[in-house]
Structures are given as structure tokens and as C-alpha cells.
Chain A
Amino acid sequence: MAKQRLVLLLLVMTVAIAATRAFAHEHFRVIGTITKLQKTEFDVKDKDSKTTTIYIDKKSKVTRDKKPVAVTTLKVGQSVVVDAYGDDEFDLLALEIRIVPPIATANKK
């Protein structure tokens, strides 16, 4: 009985710590062109020529025209809008990667 209580207590503490860490993360949006692509991460260069590395995991969603597509659809040179979260801009995990029409040629109104 005591062992079960101890396990339950540890479980509750684990969930609480995980929840706290999840809430501590900030949301980021990175907009730009893919300059480097690997299995677990990719680089995006924004309009200010700043490059940001973003990690991908199995939960990262990739879309085009609001429809889900495979991660393998991503290619170097594509314009993307990446919603990610992390503690800072050097530790970002992609939540959603939207493939959009080329931005550089379309951003003048």
C-alpha cells in the first residue's frame, strides 16, 4: 500500500514538473527560407538574413495550403512560416511548418 502511494506521489510530481516546464516555454514564429535541411533539424534564414536552427520531431506538423503533407516535402529554398516553442531562439522545436508561396517576391504591396 505504501509502495503504491509512493508511486502515485512520484507520478503526480512528474506530471507537475512536466506541466511547469511546458508552460515555461515561449512561442516563436520564424518566417523565411529553408537554407539547410537535416533529418531532425533545419535552418531558416529570415528577411534580416538571420539564420535560426529549428528542431523537428514526430509531432511537428507540416502543411501546405492548410493541408498536412509529409516532412519529406520540405526542401531547401522553400519559404516557410514556422511556429515553434522553446526557452529561447536557440532551442526551438517546430510545432507547425507551413510551406507558403515565395515571400521575397511577394512582400511588396
Chain B
Amino acid sequence: MSVEVAPTGVPQVPSAKTLAVASCLAAAAAAVILFTTVLPAEYGIDPLGTGKAMGLLAMSRAGNAEPVPPPQGTALVPVRDGNIALYPGQYKVDSRVFVLGPYEYVEFKYHLEKDAVMLFSWSADGNVLQDFHGNPDGAPASAAQSYDKQPRRKSDGTFTAPFPGIHGWFWENPGADTVTVKLTTAGFYTAAHQFTMTGTREERHARGIEAIPVNDK
């Protein structure tokens, strides 16, 4: 819409007809946006089917839908939902340092339910014999299953428990020099157990995620 300027320099006011036409066009455009976009996205009202076509109906549902409760139960058993697995509780974190004198060994394991996941990183500052293995709940020690016995000085990875039981590492110092092993884990385990050379099994406390410092940078 152009505004004509009179030869005298005073802008010419648009006529009433021009204003009416412009107002009608604006109202029509607003109505089109209202029915095609706003009503489907905000209220789930979709008279023209454009909300469904553009995927806007989900926006209205998100605002009004009841929150889905987390999986129920006391055991940290994962419930699969597409590409994710949900648990009835939070994961835990743990960090350990084991100083192994000459020929000493230690065994450290976490209790996980079947299909529960754990992330791990460990490293040793010398040669160690290692055996990442698991013992099914209620089975004798001879039922242990080995997952990895290759010679390593460090290992970073993820683990999915093949059965409910305790899963973890045996590290042995095969030489006369002291070796330090550092282990860090996070996962849906419920307990940590340390087995010593004196035949004892001690339960160790694993920390909740509140132990993780907040990163405010």
C-alpha cells in the first residue's frame, strides 16, 4: 500500500475503502494462522487437518498429558522403551583405589540385575592379571563366568549383566613390585562387594548420584 504525497507536501490519507480492504486481508490471514496452526498446537482443535499434517497436535498433548510414572519395583531391573531402558531407581557411582603388594590380589564386584548396565574405567600402573567375571545369584563359586581375561593395564567400557548376580574384577599382582589399580564405575548396581585374600567378603558402600558435584561452569 503506497501513500501518495500531494504536490503541497502533505501526505495523502488512505481512503476508507483502502483501509477496509487492508483490514479484511489482515483478518483473513490471522484466521488462516489461527485455524491451521494456533488452534491445533495450543488446544488440539484441528478442523482443517493441518495440525496433524504438520505434527502440531503433539504440542497440545504435551502440555495437558499426565506425567508417566517411572517403572515400579525395588530391584533395578531395566524396562525397555524403544532405544532407552528405564529403571525404578537412580544409578550409583563408585571409585576405588587398590594397592596390591607383591603377589597380592583383590576381587571387587557389583550386584546387578539381568540386563542392567554399568560403565567402567580402570587402570593399573603395572602389570596385573585380570579377570572380569560374574557369579549368578545363589550359585556356587564354581559357576562363575568369565567375560574378559586378556592381559590389560587399563580398560574402559560398558557392561550389560547377562544374569542377576555379582559382576566385577579380579586383579592379581604377579610380581614383586607394588601395583596400584584405580577403578571408577557408574551403573544400576545395588551393592559393592570386596573379596580379600583372607577369604572375607565385605560389603562396600556405593554412592548415590547426589555425590556427583554440580558442574556450574
Contacts and interface: CB of A to CB of B under 8 A. Distances in A.
Interface of A: 23, 26-31, 47, 81, 88-89, 98, 100-101, 103, 106-109
27 contacts: A23-B140, A23-B141, A26-B199, A27-B199, A28-B197, A29-B104, A29-B105, A30-B197, A31-B102, A31-B104, A31-B197, A47-B101, A89-B199, A100-B102, A100-B176, A101-B176, A103-B102, A103-B176, A106-B102, A106-B176, A107-B101, A107-B102, A107-B176, A107-B178, A108-B178, A109-B126, A109-B177
B195 to A, nearest CB: 9
Ranked nearest first, the 6 interchain pairs of A and B with the lowest CB-CB distance are: A26-B199, A106-B176, A29-B197, A81-B103, A109-B177, A107-B102
A34 B104 CA distance: 17
Interface of B: 101-105, 126, 140-142, 176-178, 197-199
Contacts of B102: 31, 100, 103, 106-107
Contacts, number: 43
Q: Which label, helix, strand, loop or mixed, suits the secondary structure of the B interface?
A: loop
Contacts of A108: 178
Given A28-B198, A31-B103, 11 more contacts: A23-B141, A28-B197, A28-B199, A29-B104, A29-B197, A47-B101, A100-B176, A103-B102, A106-B176, A107-B101, A107-B178
